[in-house]
């Protein structure tokens, strides 16, 4: 199975929602029925990468879908809001993103009609979403000014108040939304047999189920402060007879341990390089200033690595140790 490094909310969300089977399930279950009935789901596809990069710039977690709607082009703009606090300016931000998408479309396709856009926020913070969803409400627009002010509203899926039974969609969508909802929950270990094991079992019956399970476990192990890896493994062994799941868990566990060792080695190398630079400067100080340098050795160890090159250059031209360290140390 292909090795995946899912170590952030953005990466997990983007990888899952780029899968069209999940996207179709999401649209069918969480967009207004009045819109869904006229969407040709078979035409659904991801907007071209170059278009998204130009339209949304640094919005790395955002997904842009394209589909046929009433014989027209419609964009489904999906945005994951994974902050732990509600963003009161979201209606303004969505207006900006909507404008950027429209402008990029106009630039790229000057002879085509402008696209329809349905903006959508998926939120999994701890508190219930209470920011204005209508730009008029955000601006508190007076009645007489409403005809002259953009009226833009965004769709919202707020996972925070939902019970697990209220999470709809195909089994893979339920798994993705469930782990997003519970990633910070102190009770996540107690939810394993109740919520996640049944989803695992159902997913194993699908063609791509094991990939969804692997992604979810890697994300959970990487981002949850409460998920007990050993407890999860024990519960899998107790409840599940599935050899593939057990193998996936052990593989991920080993991979995370290896990742930790690699990061430790990299940190050690950086520290070694920094110490090496300090040793060179110390040698130069002793060579040039002799006994005088002894009083400055301890001060050299206090310097951050970013200042070492400047100090090294000063050693070559300075007439005293005090001149070398001037402006850096008291």
What radius of gyration, in Å, describes the C-alpha atoms of the chain? 27
Q: CA-CA distance, 276 to 250, in Å (whole number)?
A: 39
For helices 90-108 and 49-56, angle between their N-to-C axes, nearest 10 degrees: 130
Residue finishing a domain among 161, 177, 195: 161
Residue finishing a domain among 134, 161, 188: 161
pLDDT for 25 equals 96
Residue finishing a domain among 107, 141, 161: 161
Is residue 266 over pLDDT 50?
Answer: no
Q: Do 156 and 270 have their domain in common?
A: no
DSSP 104: H
In a domain, 175, yes or no: no
Are 114 and 74 in contact by the 8 Å Cβ rule? The answer is no
Is residue 168 over pLDDT 90?
Answer: yes
pLDDT bin (cut points 50, 70, 90) of residue 257 is: low
In a domain, 35, yes or no: yes
Q: CA-CA distance, 59 to 27, in Å (whole number)?
A: 21
Question: In terms of C-beta density within 10 A (0-12 exposed, 13-18 middle, 19 or more buried), how is residue 22 classed?
Answer: buried
Q: CA-CA distance, 162 to 30, in Å (whole number)?
A: 13
Measured in degrees and rounded to the nearest 5, phi and psi for residue 304 equal -75, 160
Task: Please name the residues in contact with 59: beta carbons below 8 A apart, sequence gap of 6 or more.
Answer: 79, 97
Q: Do 263 and 157 have their domain in common?
A: no
Scan for tokens 């649209």, then name that residue: 27
**Over the range 57-95, which residues count as b (16 or more CB within 10 Å of their CB) and which as e?**
eebebbbbbbbebeeebbbbbbbbbbeeebeeebbebbb
In a domain, 268, yes or no: yes
Each residue's pLDDT tens digit, 21-35:
999 999 999 999 999
Each residue's pLDDT tens digit, 130-142:
999 999 999 999 9
Q: Total domain count for the chain?
A: 2
pLDDT for 3 equals 45
In a domain, 13, yes or no: no
Is residue 264 over pLDDT 50?
Answer: no
Q: 233 pairs with which residues across the strands?
A: none
Each residue's pLDDT tens digit, 46-86:
988 888 888 887 676 788 999 999 888 888 887 666 666 78
Helices within 118-196 (DSSP H only) = 135-139, 171-182, 188-191
Full domain range(s) for residue 271: 257-325
Nearest to 72 by CA among 43, 104, 110, 98: 43
Task: Please name the residues in contact with 153: beta carbons below 8 A apart, sequence gap of 6 or more.
Answer: 91, 133, 134, 135
DSSP H or E segment with residue 201 = helix 197-203
User: Is pLDDT larger for residue 259 or for residue 216?
Assistant: 216
Is the whole-model pTM more than 0.85?
A: no
pLDDT bin (cut points 50, 70, 90) of residue 262 is: very low
User: Is pLDDT larger for residue 290 or for residue 98?
Assistant: 98
């Amino acid at each position: 199975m292909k090795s995946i490094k899912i170590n952030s909310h953005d990466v997990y969300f983007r990888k899952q929602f780029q899968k069209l089977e999940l996207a179709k399930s999401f649209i069918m279950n969480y967009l207004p029925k009045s819109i869904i009935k006229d969407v040709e789901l078979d035409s659904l596809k991801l907007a071209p990468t170059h278009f998204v990069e130009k339209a949304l710039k640094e919005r790395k977690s955002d997904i842009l879908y394209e589909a046929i709607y009433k014989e027209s082009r419609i964009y489904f703009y999906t945005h994951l809001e994974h902050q732990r606090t509600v963003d009161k300016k979201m209606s303004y931000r969505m207006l900006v993103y909507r404008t950027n998408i429209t402008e990029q479309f106009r630039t790229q396709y000057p002879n085509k009609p402008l696209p329809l856009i349905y903006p959508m926020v998926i939120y999994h913070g701890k508190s219930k979403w209470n920011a204005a969803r209508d730009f008029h409400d955000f601006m508190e627009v007076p009645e007489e000014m409403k005809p002259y002010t953009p009226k833009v509203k965004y769709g919202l899926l707020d996972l925070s108040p939902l019970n697990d039974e209220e999470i709809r969609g195909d089994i893979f969508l339920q798994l993705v939304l469930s782990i997003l909802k519970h990633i910070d929950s102190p009770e996540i270990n107690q939810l394993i047999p109740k919520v996640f094991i049944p989803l695992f079992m159902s997913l194993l019956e699908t063609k791509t189920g094991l990939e969804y399970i692997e992604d979810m476990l890697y994300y959970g192990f990487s981002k949850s402060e409460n998920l007990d890896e050993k407890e999860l493994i024990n519960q899998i062994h107790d409840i599940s007879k599935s050899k593939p799941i057990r193998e996936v868990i052990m593989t991920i566990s080993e991979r995370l341990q290896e990742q930790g060792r690699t990061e430790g080695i990299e940190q050690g190398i950086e520290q070694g390089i920094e110490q090496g630079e300090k040793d060179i400067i110390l040698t130069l100080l002793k060579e040039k200033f002799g006994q005088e340098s002894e009083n400055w050795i301890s001060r050299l160890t206090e310097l951050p690595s970013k200042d070492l090159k400047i100090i090294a250059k000063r050693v070559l031209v300075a007439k005293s140790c005090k001149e070398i360290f001037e402006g850096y140390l008291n």
